[in-house]
Structure 1
Amino acid sequence: MPDTLCAMRTTLFVLALSFVPVWAVVGQERPNIVLVMADDQGWGQTGYYNHPVLKTPHLDAMASSGIRFDRFYAGAPVCSPTRGCVLTGRANDRIGVLSHGYALRRQEITIASLLAGAGYATGHFGKWHLNGIRGPGVPVLHGDTHHPGKFGFQSWLSVTNFFDRDPILSRRGKFEEFEGDSSEIVIDEALKFMRRQHKNRQPFFAVVWYGTPHDPFKAADDDAEAFADLDPVSRQHYGELVAMDRSIGTLRSGLREMNVADNTIVWFCSDNGGLAKIKPDTVGGLRGNKGSVYEGGLRVPGIIEWPASIQPRTSLYPASVLDILPTLLDVTGVEYPDSDRPLDGISLTKLFDDDLRVRHKPIPFRHTGKAALVDNRFKLVTNRLNEGGFELYDIEKDPKEKKNISEQEPVIAQRMRQQLLLWSESVDHSADGKDYPEGQVDRSEPVSRFWMDMDEYKPFFGQWKSRWEYAGRLDPESRKKRKRKTAQ
């Protein structure tokens, strides 16, 4: 009887422990959290993957002290959808972010709002691109119905889209001009935010979304110098990545200086696969590039660093930006408030101290009629979901997706096809707004549009037309050509 009682007590303790956040189990304060995302950095563009010309010493150091995911996936093959996936843990087509320049629905639940409600100070720095505005990045307006503050960010210094050297950014609607590399600027500003919260003894959640290395490319001469043998565009592109890597070093050293590095989760990734016209290759020899649902369009660099709780190693476990929200909720002990609303990711906390290999929930993708499903070693791909044409690849044996094995493995192909189609039906249900309490999508959600066509931005055209990043877009003839192209 005593043995039975002891076993029962042990079972109850284990069950109770499963509901306790990681930070409480190890007896530490709630962790700070920093999410960092590059813009168009390909899977192969890191030093730790032995890129032929690019050195990334700071990313390499981060990878060696955390979990380096060798199979980490964006939410979609372009930027805005992946950003929506990060904030919601839900596939982009569920949440209205169909492609780049689509707005995130205000009916969605974000990790920022959940952590803010749990006592975290929340801040966004850099590229936003979830307010439905297209074109090169401009400062987010105070009256924007979809600015970061509408989604749980108490502090924000943000721009609508990609941004480069000497940018204009918006601090909660107030425009500010900066000088220098954009990556270094947003990291410096994010660190100021973190220092304030640390001084106030409040845990922080900071999201830093770079504009690098998205085009147009403009690097400092010193950063581009090492790539003198490359074509001018590639030279500038890689020069931007040098500065971005340096800013990662600034972030990590800043956290150490505050004595918070051990208990701060830093999660780095890119928003989609690398660009096709940059040389040398951006995707490490994988098939496809940005815009494709093959590995080159979806697989991206991914690293989680949390010295207090993570055993450093390289992992082949398939993981995704869809896992960010469930993982952070698990870590912090914050509950997701709507059990009926589908999440597409899973918590990765079990990976922190155990080298797992088998994922029990596939990673799904759907974007502009293309779709894919990653189920451990196998990946199903279709470039026309509504018409068929499914391909099956063994990613472990064939990471470059050269051999379609759907005929050799018909049972696996059929099973995964049924899984993907069933999941896609669920996405359609969500896209129609059935997940929301209202049972429908808010009709006031904006359509995708260019800021050059918006009356709210016209008062700034006069002062912006001489800026290098806007001049071409504000030229009358260029605007006419773009309007004709959009109308076709």
Structure 2
Amino acid sequence: MLVAALLAAVVPLAPVVAAAEDARAFDPPPPRGIVLVMADDLGFAQVGYPIGPRDEPHPVLKTPHLNAMAANGLRLDGFRSAAFTCSPTRASVLTGRTNDRTGVQEHGYPLNPNEITLPQLLKDAGYATGHFGKWHLNGLRGPGVPILKDDPLGPGPFGFETWVSVTNFFDRDPLMSRGGTFEQFEGDSSDIIVSEALTFIRQQTAANKPFLAVVWYGSPHSPFVASDADASPFADLPKGSRDHHAEIAAIDRSVGTLRAGLRDAGVAQHTLLWFCSDNGGLKMEPSAVAPLRGNKGTIYEGGLRVPAIVEWPAAIDPGRVSEALTVTSDILPTVCAAAGVAPPTRPLDGTNLLPLLTGRSADWERPGPLGFRQKGSVAWVDDGLKLLSSRRGRQAGDQRTWELYDLAADPTESTDLAAKRPADVARMAEAFEQWNASVDASAAGADYGPNPRPARTADQQWAQDPRYAPFLDEWRTRPEYRGTIQRHAKPAPANR
């Protein structure tokens, strides 16, 4: 009680808006800070510590700072991304909903402006909100460019008051947008966005205001660009693999900087820090996903299962590991429960993990099945069984061909049980189709009321967007933009 009283004196408690009982019954008090960190294309196996079915350390990666975070928090070794590419998963984080409900069918698709997002909810509850790094929810493809100040699908309209962001992936020496003002940075992109996030966190701490900081890396997404110092431990690997692993080393270093910065600001004890990746790993040596099957872009575990760690010293006992089925869609309802804020009253696919995080439910299990769907590939996970149908090799209009795997006994999805267990296939397929119909209804706008705001439903290359035309001549000299402009923009005038 004394701790709660002292925290209440320095942390303005978030008001509860039509909260359900489980949203009010939180213990400990609401977090002083919430920091959501997401890597871009980090595979399940690309952490230094043994994880899940990989029961030995990584052969080349050390990740000492992620290891330390895991030792001080809760490892979610059964964590999945809600989709197998980046933008759809990012939509699930901000909305608590599977990607197709939100309009984000594939990477580069825009988030529907009628969605209710986590930063909007927390901002209304008194939290300062900041986004730092990759956005990729405004419908623009291509390497990351600065987001325009008046972009109706940028971080601002979705609830972020402060943002230093780019449209997509980015590497060293990035050109970024500080609330719409373009700014050239120097150094590793992971270090840069963590530095910006810490500046924001220190400002909010000085103002005695709780905060949400979303830190979305552009690494280790291709193209792989790393410093010689970060690459030197991986000198024996081929160049692409060397620089890819060097980018992971930079991510790990920046996680250490972030954790140290939270301690220095005096808010680490009462900050909920959540690290994960946006989808499964790339085809890489050493393997980014071993021993799982598939990679980024597939509905198999290698495309969905990702590393995840949650650290919150005031609430989470150190050194815990859970194999429970969890997913990026769970982030919104969990954070809402922790902050005492009611989640949106529309279909959610995530569930509140607070009992799992705090240890109040030591044997926590997901209360129901979990569905996935993206561009024709689908899956339904229920009580350790996974029913899936891959889009690969199937023509449009073809009926689904189901595969069935027992993930508890066969996490590598090597033995298809569909022919041997037709009753399970029929039962799970029926349940999936009921959920699928609900997603279809959401995608058609059923959750938005009678007068929704107009929504854009297609993606576009930024080099073809008229709003970016004034910058193209200058950007033709930048190596990260040159190829995109050559492929997609009108040629430069002959006299230039």
TM-score, scaled to structure 2: 0.90
**How is 1:224-373 mapped onto 2 (pairs within 5 angstroms)?**
224-276=231-283, 278-312=284-318, 313-338=320-345, 341-351=346-356, 352-353=358-359, 354-373=361-380
- Does residue 414 of structure 1 match 2:426? yes
C-alpha separation in 2, matches of 1:361 and 1:174: 45
Partner amino acid for 1:388?
R
C-alpha separation in 2, matches of 1:295 and 1:29: 34
- Does residue 122 of structure 1 match 2:124? no
Identity of aligned residues (%): 52
What residue is the counterpart of 2:409 in the other structure?
Answer: 397
Say whether the 8 Å CA contact 2:279–2:306 is kept in structure 1: yes
Cα displacement (A) at 1:367: 0.1
Once the two structures are superposed, residues 152-179 of structure 1 have per-residue CA deviations (whole angstroms, 9 ceiling, x without a partner) of: 1011111000000000110110001100
C-alpha separation in 1, matches of 2:219 and 2:266: 28
Cα displacement (A) at 1:467: 1.3
Cα displacement (A) at 1:66: 1.0
Partner amino acid for 2:249?
V
What residue is the counterpart of 1:4 in the other structure?
Answer: none
- Does residue 157 of structure 1 match 2:164? yes
C-alpha separation in 1, matches of 2:105 and 2:22: 36
C-alpha separation in 2, matches of 1:419 and 1:403: 22
Say whether the 8 Å CA contact 1:227–1:235 is kept in structure 2: yes
Partner amino acid for 1:285?
P
Bigger drift between 329-338 and 448-457 goes to 329-338
Once the two structures are superposed, residues 182-208 of structure 1 have per-residue CA deviations (whole angstroms, 9 ceiling, x without a partner) of: 000000000000000000000000000
What residue is the counterpart of 2:439 in the other structure?
Answer: 427
The counterpart of 2:73, out of the listed 59, 66, 70, is: 66
**How is 1:381-392 mapped onto 2 (pairs within 5 angstroms)?**
381-384=388-391, 387-392=399-404
Cα displacement (A) at 1:29: 5.5
Partner amino acid for 1:469?
E
Q: 1:29 to 1:82 in 2, by over 3 A?
A: closer
Instruction: Report the 3-state secondary structure (helix = DSSP H, G, I; strand = E; otherwise coil) of the residue aligned with 2:24.
Output: coil
Cα displacement (A) at 1:371: 0.4
What residue is the counterpart of 2:213 in the other structure?
Answer: 206
Q: 1:398 to 1:311 in 2, by over 3 A?
A: same
Say whether the 8 Å CA contact 1:323–1:348 is kept in structure 2: yes
Partner amino acid for 1:38?
A
Say whether the 8 Å CA contact 2:113–2:455 is kept in structure 1: no
The counterpart of 1:20, out of the listed 21, 24, 30, is: 24
What residue is the counterpart of 2:6 in the other structure?
Answer: none
Cα displacement (A) at 1:255: 0.4
What residue is the counterpart of 1:41 in the other structure?
Answer: 42
Q: 1:29 to 1:413 in 2, by over 3 A?
A: closer
Cα displacement (A) at 1:21: 4.4
What residue is the counterpart of 1:8 in the other structure?
Answer: none
- Does residue 103 of structure 1 match 2:110? yes
Once the two structures are superposed, residues 84-142 of structure 1 have per-residue CA deviations (whole angstroms, 9 ceiling, x without a partner) of: 00000011011100001000011000011000000000000000000000000000001
Once the two structures are superposed, residues 258-300 of structure 1 have per-residue CA deviations (whole angstroms, 9 ceiling, x without a partner) of: 1110100000100000001x21100122100000000000000
Say whether the 8 Å CA contact 2:103–2:457 is kept in structure 1: no
Instruction: Report the 3-state secondary structure (helix = DSSP H, G, I; strand = E; otherwise coil) of the residue aligned with 2:479.
Output: coil
Instruction: Report the 3-state secondary structure (helix = DSSP H, G, I; strand = E; otherwise coil) of the residue aligned with 2:204.
Output: helix
What residue is the counterpart of 1:10 in the other structure?
Answer: none
Q: Aligned-pair RMSD on alpha carbons?
A: 1.8
Once the two structures are superposed, residues 45-80 of structure 1 have per-residue CA deviations (whole angstroms, 9 ceiling, x without a partner) of: 000131111110111111111110111000100000
C-alpha separation in 1, matches of 2:285 and 2:322: 28
**How is 1:132-147 mapped onto 2 (pairs within 5 angstroms)?**
132-147=139-154
Cα displacement (A) at 1:358: 2.6
Once the two structures are superposed, residues 323-381 of structure 1 have per-residue CA deviations (whole angstroms, 9 ceiling, x without a partner) of: 0011011111111242xx10001000111213325322222110000001122311111
What residue is the counterpart of 1:450 in the other structure?
Answer: 461
Cα displacement (A) at 1:438: 2.2
C-alpha separation in 1, matches of 2:408 and 2:400: 24
C-alpha separation in 1, matches of 2:250 and 2:23: 41
Instruction: Report the 3-state secondary structure (helix = DSSP H, G, I; strand = E; otherwise coil) of the residue aligned with 2:99.
Output: coil
Instruction: Report the 3-state secondary structure (helix = DSSP H, G, I; strand = E; otherwise coil) of the residue aligned with 1:47.
Output: coil
Cα displacement (A) at 1:20: 2.5
Partner amino acid for 1:192?
T
The counterpart of 1:472, out of the listed 483, 486, 495, is: 483
Q: 1:386 to 1:121 in 2, by over 3 A?
A: farther
Structure 1 gaps of 5+ residues are 1-15, 483-488
Instruction: Report the 3-state secondary structure (helix = DSSP H, G, I; strand = E; otherwise coil) of the residue aligned with 2:61.
Output: coil
Partner amino acid for 1:48?
Y
Number of positions where the alignment pairs a residue of Structure 1 with one of Structure 2: 459
Partner amino acid for 1:247?
S
Cα displacement (A) at 1:444: 4.3
The counterpart of 1:169, out of the listed 176, 199, 221, is: 176
Q: 1:386 to 1:343 in 2, by over 3 A?
A: farther
Once the two structures are superposed, residues 294-313 of structure 1 have per-residue CA deviations (whole angstroms, 9 ceiling, x without a partner) of: 00000001111101001230
C-alpha separation in 1, matches of 2:213 and 2:118: 11
Instruction: Report the 3-state secondary structure (helix = DSSP H, G, I; strand = E; otherwise coil) of the residue aligned with 1:290.
Output: coil
Say whether the 8 Å CA contact 2:463–2:489 is kept in structure 1: no
C-alpha separation in 2, matches of 1:19 and 1:69: 22
What residue is the counterpart of 1:13 in the other structure?
Answer: none
What residue is the counterpart of 2:10 in the other structure?
Answer: none
Bigger drift between 404-413 and 317-326 goes to 404-413
C-alpha separation in 1, matches of 2:412 and 2:473: 49
The counterpart of 1:52, out of the listed 42, 51, 59, is: 59
Q: 1:89 to 1:386 in 2, by over 3 A?
A: farther
Instruction: Report the 3-state secondary structure (helix = DSSP H, G, I; strand = E; otherwise coil) of the residue aligned with 2:416.
Output: coil
Say whether the 8 Å CA contact 2:274–2:310 is kept in structure 1: yes
Say whether the 8 Å CA contact 1:21–1:332 is kept in structure 2: no
